[in-house]
Amino acid sequence: MTSGWQFRPPWWAIVGTLLGCAVTINLGLWQWHRGLAREALDAQYASAVTQQALALSVDSAVPAGADAVSATARGHYDASRQLLLDNQVHDRMPGYQVLTPFVLDDGGIVLVNRGWLPQNPDRRVLPALAISDATTTVNGLWRSLPQPALRLSIENCPSAGVPWPRIVGYPTADDLRCLYGASTAGGVLLLDPAEPDGYLREWTQGDRRFPPQRHYGYAAQWFAFAATLLAIFLKLNLKRRP
């Protein structure tokens, strides 16, 4: 009798391996696309100084994807209806991105991301977000609303009675119009780091704490996990006949 190889894995091993590979490959692709998006945003910031700033209005076109354009807006902040974008980590510290509505001189509203601040250990204690409502001009990068890798089922526009500021999870354009009215633009202005009234802003990734290359590295790790899982599956189930 000649010897050979046999490959008869149980059905549960096949299903588990396929699911594991699908998850790890998708996570790798997500990190890869995050790296591409961050790289594109960095490139936009590098070229923003040469652009003529867009004067924002409620009808201002929102750049697609990760693209951003230099922009300016005149009006005043509405400190009474601010949002805290949840699950924003900086240097392994949990925190929020502060999203403040800015009422334009023409009556429209644009959302301004004023930067990151840390979360209180007691999540019931929200940060004080006082800001002047005096007429001013703000500058920054105008871009589409950030998109999560996985959108959770969160009510970003609850019924009346919920106090401000409100914790939200990646609001959509419809969420913003539900919160602030139909004259709300469906984008966000990333406040320039040189502007006052902001918190930690690292839009340009100047200190390179999380450059695109790190996303690519994480992507490679996820792809390696998928390859390792497949190799283990083959090693355990591919056997030489006696």
Instruction: Check: CB of residue 115 under 8 Å from CB of residue 44.
Output: no
Query: How confident is residue 48, by pLDDT bands cut at 50, 70 and 90?
Result: low
| Per-residue model confidence (pLDDT) at position 2 | 55
Give the largest CA-CA distance in the chain: 91
| Per-residue model confidence (pLDDT) at position 242 | 66
User: What percent of the chain is modeled with pLDDT above 90?
Assistant: 47
With 80 as the cut, is the pLDDT of residue 150 above it? no
| Per-residue model confidence (pLDDT) at position 6 | 80
Query: How confident is residue 65, by pLDDT bands cut at 50, 70 and 90?
Result: low
**Phi/psi zone of residue 61: left (φ > 0), alpha (ψ -120 to 50 degrees), beta?**
beta
With 70 as the cut, is the pLDDT of residue 238 above it? yes
In the three-class reduction of DSSP (H, G, I as helix; E, B as strand; rest coil), residue 34 is classed as helix
| Per-residue model confidence (pLDDT) at position 66 | 55
Range of weakest confidence among 5-19, 40-54, 93-107? 40-54
Q: What is the mean pLDDT of residues 179-194?
A: 92
Helix (H) or strand (E) holding 223: helix 212-237
Query: How confident is residue 206, by pLDDT bands cut at 50, 70 and 90?
Result: very low
Q: What is the mean pLDDT of residues 196-203?
A: 90
With 50 as the cut, is the pLDDT of residue 153 above it? yes
List the alpha helices (DSSP H) in 10-145.
Answer: 11-48
Q: CB 138: neighbour CB atoms within 10 A?
A: 24
With 90 as the cut, is the pLDDT of residue 110 above it? yes
With 60 as the cut, is the pLDDT of residue 205 above it? no
Q: What is the mean pLDDT of residues 197-205?
A: 82
| Per-residue model confidence (pLDDT) at position 210 | 67
Question: Where is pLDDT greater, at 154 or 138?
Answer: 138
| Per-residue model confidence (pLDDT) at position 105 | 93
Nearest to 186 by CA among 199, 177, 197: 177
pTM metric for this prediction = 0.69
Bond before 193 cis per omega within 30 degrees:
no
E strands, 149-214, are: 166-168, 184-191
Nearest to 171 by CA among 137, 148, 139: 148
Q: What is the mean pLDDT of residues 70-80?
A: 94
Range of weakest confidence among 148-157, 169-178, 185-194? 148-157
> What mean pLDDT, rounded, does the chain reach?
85
| Per-residue model confidence (pLDDT) at position 45 | 67
With 80 as the cut, is the pLDDT of residue 68 above it? no
Residues in CB range of 103: below 8 A, 6 or more apart: 75, 76, 77, 78, 109
